[in-house]
Amino acid sequence: MKNMALYARPGVAYVYFAYGNHWMLNVVAHPEGEASALLIRAARPLSGQAEMFARRPKARREEDLLSGPGKLCAAFGITSEQNMTDLLDPSSELRLELGLPVASVLVGRRVGIAVGKAHDYPWRFVDGESLAWVSRPNVPSLERR
């Protein structure tokens, strides 16, 4: 079953191929056995930008390298090989690390959800101080919380 990673312990990567051309990175978020994950939609590059630009030759600015879930996976070289990776393991090549505290969180509807599929539910959470690094930063549904 392709989505077995969804049922893994929290912090495990669930990587899948979407729309026939993009890898998507998700982080399992619920207890083991319960299917739930968070889609990583964007990030700010802290190092390795030259390699990211090489993997994403159409990107013109640093802000465009990781500003969407498909772009993020392409820039980091994330594929099905990273599915089931423990993102909380400090020795893992692909891992989550603590960052700076977020002072302002914007909440809104997730991009790309069809009407009638919980399209008006607040699925999207954005660091309000890092809008230059996110995909579609000017979506009217983003509100400060």
Beta strand 37-39 with 22-28: parallel, antiparallel or unpaired? antiparallel
Whole-number pLDDT of residue 141: 64
Whole-number pLDDT of residue 23: 97
Whole-number pLDDT of residue 137: 58
CATH class of 1-96: alpha beta
Whole-number pLDDT of residue 116: 86
User: 108 pLDDT exceeds 90?
Assistant: no
Structural tokens at position 87: 């993102």
Give which of 66, 68, 70 is closest to 79, Cα–Cα.
Answer: 70
Q: pLDDT over 70 for what percent of the chain? A: 92
Whole-number pLDDT of residue 31: 93
42 or 121, greater pLDDT? 42
Residue 75's pLDDT band (boundaries 50, 70, 90)? very high
Strand segments, DSSP code E, in the chain are 13-18, 22-28, 37-39, 105-108, 124-127, 143-144
User: 140 pLDDT exceeds 60?
Assistant: no
pTM: 0.86
Domain locations in the chain as residue ranges: 1-96, 100-145
Which residues, 6+ apart, have CB-to-CB distance to 26 below 8 Å? 6, 13, 14, 15, 16, 37, 38, 39, 40
